[in-house]
Amino acid sequence: MLRRNIKSTRSFSITASLGKWTEIPLAPPDKILGISEAYNKDSNNKKINLGVGAYRDNFGKPIIFPSVKKAEVLLLEKETEKEYTPIIGSKNFQNLVKNFIFNNSGKDPNGEKLINEGRIVTSQTISGTGSLRVIADFFNRFYSSKKIIVPKPTWANHIAVLKDAGLEPSFYEYYNTSINGLDYEKLIESIKSVDNETIILLHACCHNPTGMDLTNEQWDEVLNIIIEKNLYPMVDMAYQGFSSGDPYKDIEVIRKLNKLVVDGKIKSYSLCQSFAKNMGLYGERTGSISIITESAEQSQSIESQLKKLIRPMYSSPPIHGSKIVETIFSNEELLNQWLTELNEVVGRLNTVRTKLFEKLDGSIYNWDHLNKQRGMFIYTGLSQEQVIKLRNEYSVYATEDGRFSISGVNDDNVDYLADAMNKVIKESK
């Protein structure tokens, strides 16, 4: 929108050599950053930041996974910045990631078959955002439809990324705030009503922002519609492991898709994936895309086209994060250590989730949905006014859609938070 506006409203004046860009309108500042700024300025020592989408420990501090640190120790002497990696990342990175995700490190025969048949093309990307962008550009060039549907609501940046790449995003029904739950009937209805061949974006687990995922049976039904209508599944997986604590358990939908491909029920699907959260590599920008293809031969074409697409954008991906991933995935001891650490992180999130639930007054508001939601967020159902009230009167900072990043909650502030929430609910009755 913004970008179109500039083009259409801007009549570029040839003589205006000075101040050529005076007409650039102010773009809306990033909401989450705005919240962090306001939080930083607040002098209340009880203030709580529930805006950031990054993990904090029980003391409110960001963590470095000890396994990641160990990998960095190993790399310190060995790693050289010197080499450009290939455009789509190193073969080693690609293979390790493929094995980890699609073969669940030896636990998914269908995924293994697809790997062995050369039917998965994997490319390292600039984290999850970059993977979404590249796949969107790829669809824009090569897929039969530009239409893509995303759940309502979805990650704040999805629409911008997809539109910017020339796709035409619209929403499918997902969540109903009046019942604080999945609107499953409407979801089915709205998927059924889209044009055949439309691309459908699916959150693999820990749906952002609602934390509400489909059940096994619901996935099956949705996948059946996908088969019937020949929709193209594009999976976004930014929180692998954050639902159950176990990355292998969290990717039931990938296993289901692998089976459907092997059984010939669908031809292809794609996965956009990020190590930002589950390895705590946020700022290092490490992720991947994988495209499941129809044949090894097609894989070669697709791989070469991905290279052609990425090369003019940024040439090649950054290596520090990918070397960490490679180090962890190729060392069994480190891999197991990381799995344990991730499990502990998720364990903490679930513990505070339960604590908060217990302290919230269920007699004035039904909080049952908190226990059904998974991942880094709780989607409270609080109204915009209530969120603003929490901010202004209690120094509790969250986005106005009522999404709380639970990792901002800990033993020290959970009572204060629950109390503030109870009060705000009561006052608006």
Ligand X SMILES: Cc1ncc(COP(=O)(O)O)c(C=O)c1O
Residue positions annotated with a catalytic role: 155, 236, 277
What mask of x and - would describe binding to ligand X in positions 291 to 320, judged by CB under 6 A?
A: ------------------------x-----
Using the rule CB under 6 A, is 155 a contact of ligand X?
yes
Using the rule CB under 6 A, is 208 a contact of ligand X?
yes
For the bound state, the minimum distance from the C-beta of residue 208 to ligand X, rounded and expressed in Å, comes to 4
Using the rule CB under 6 A, is 274 a contact of ligand X?
yes
Site for ligand X in 379-418 (CB under 6 A): none
Please choose which of ligand X, another protein, none residue 296 contacts, taking the beta carbon within 5 to 8 angstroms, the exact cut-off set by kind.
Answer: none
Shorter beta-carbon distance to another protein: residue 232 or 239: 232
For the bound state, the minimum distance from the C-beta of residue 258 to another protein, rounded and expressed in Å, comes to 17
By CB neighbour count within 10 A (0-12 exposed, 13-18 middle, 19+ buried), where does 356 fall? buried
Residue 123 and residue 273: Cα distance in Å, rounded? 10
Q: Which of 35, 39, 47, 53 binds ligand X (CB under 6 A)?
A: 53
Residue 317 and residue 126: Cα distance in Å, rounded? 6
The distance between the two most distant Cα atoms of the chain, rounded to a whole number of Å, is 68
For the bound state, the minimum distance from the C-beta of residue 156 to ligand X, rounded and expressed in Å, comes to 8
Residue 230 and residue 63: Cα distance in Å, rounded? 43
Using the rule CB under 6 A, is 284 a contact of ligand X?
no
Size of the site for ligand X (CB under 6 A): 13
**Strand 168-173 to 175-176 pairing:** unpaired
Shorter beta-carbon distance to ligand X: residue 198 or 208: 208
Cβ contact 206:213 at 8 Å: yes
Q: Which of 51, 128, 151, 280 binds ligand X (CB under 6 A)?
A: 128
**Strand 120-126 to 286-292 pairing:** antiparallel
Using the rule CB under 6 A, is 236 a contact of ligand X?
yes
What beta strand segments (E) does 320-365 contain? Answer: none
Using the rule CB under 6 A, is 287 a contact of ligand X?
yes
C-alpha torsion 97→291→276→100, nearest 10: -20
Query: Per residue, what are the HEC states of 39-85?
Result: HHHCCCCCCEECCCCCCCCCCCCCCCCHHHHHHHHHHHHHCCCCCCC
Using the rule CB under 6 A, is 129 a contact of ligand X?
yes
For the bound state, the minimum distance from the C-beta of residue 163 to ligand X, rounded and expressed in Å, comes to 16
Cβ atoms < 10 Å from Cβ of 140? 16
Looking up tokens 């030896």 gives 106
Using the rule CB under 6 A, is 278 a contact of ligand X?
no
Cβ contact 278:342 at 8 Å: yes
Please choose which of another protein, ligand X, none residue 208 contacts, taking the beta carbon within 5 to 8 angstroms, the exact cut-off set by kind.
Answer: ligand X
Shorter beta-carbon distance to another protein: residue 129 or 337: 129
Cβ atoms < 10 Å from Cβ of 184? 17
Please choose which of another protein, ligand X, none residue 236 contacts, taking the beta carbon within 5 to 8 angstroms, the exact cut-off set by kind.
Answer: ligand X
- Interacting residue ranges for ligand X, rule: CB under 6 A: 53, 127-129, 155, 203, 208, 236, 238, 274, 276, 287, 315
